[in-house]
Amino acid sequence: VIGLAETRRKGEQLTTTEGGHTLYTIGGDVPQRGVGFLVHRKVKDKIIKFEGLNDRVASLTMKVNNQYQMQIVQVYAPTTTHSDEEVEEFYEDITSVMERNKSFYKIIMGDFNAKVGRHEQGDGKTTGEQGLGERNERGERLVQFATSKNLKITNTYFEKKSSMKWTWRSP
């Protein structure tokens, strides 16, 4: 399963590729933003449900085995040009989609448009020791959210080359 952000597709779509893979996407009324999942043909039969909440949050529930399910939430957070109210609404949407789904395993992934930075005192196990640079305001909000949901920001746990620790350089 690959999570997708900035799909730039309108509405909710379910597409099967020539290779037999399944593409689930949701976008708004105009072709911008959007999130989705590309599911490999070998696991497509394990998909229980796709829920596209809006053009920033989507959820995929899949069967892990006979006993457990896993929820994967794909997100695309508002950028710093958006208001704090929009950011709070975004986190409320994630909470809503998580609370409606009783899966044992949960993965929240995507583009949070945040810089988590180095591990700080008080982060507990929410962040690891492999973060880079200084945390920005949106990074602080992400850490607060992850802490409140007992989640880990796993890309701060794994050692990587410095050039692989971010996907975009801010102006």
Task: Give the CATH number of the domain where residue 123 resides.
Answer: 3.60.10.10
Number of domains in the chain: 1
pTM as predicted: 0.90
pLDDT at 170: 55
Residue 170 lies in a domain: no
d(Cα 117, Cα 33) in Å, to the nearest integer? 25
72: in domain: yes
Q: What is the mean pLDDT of residues 71-87?
A: 95
Hey, what are 82's tokens? 């958006």
Of 37, 34, 32, which Cα lies nearest the Cα of 14? 37
74/131: higher pLDDT: 74
Lowest mean pLDDT among 10-19, 40-49, 109-118, 157-166: 157-166
Question: Which of 34-48, 61-75, 84-98, 119-133 is least confident?
Answer: 119-133
| Average pLDDT of the residues in 42-53 | 96
Do residues 124 and 139 make contact, with C-beta atoms less than 8 angstroms apart? no
Domain range enclosing 13: 2-164
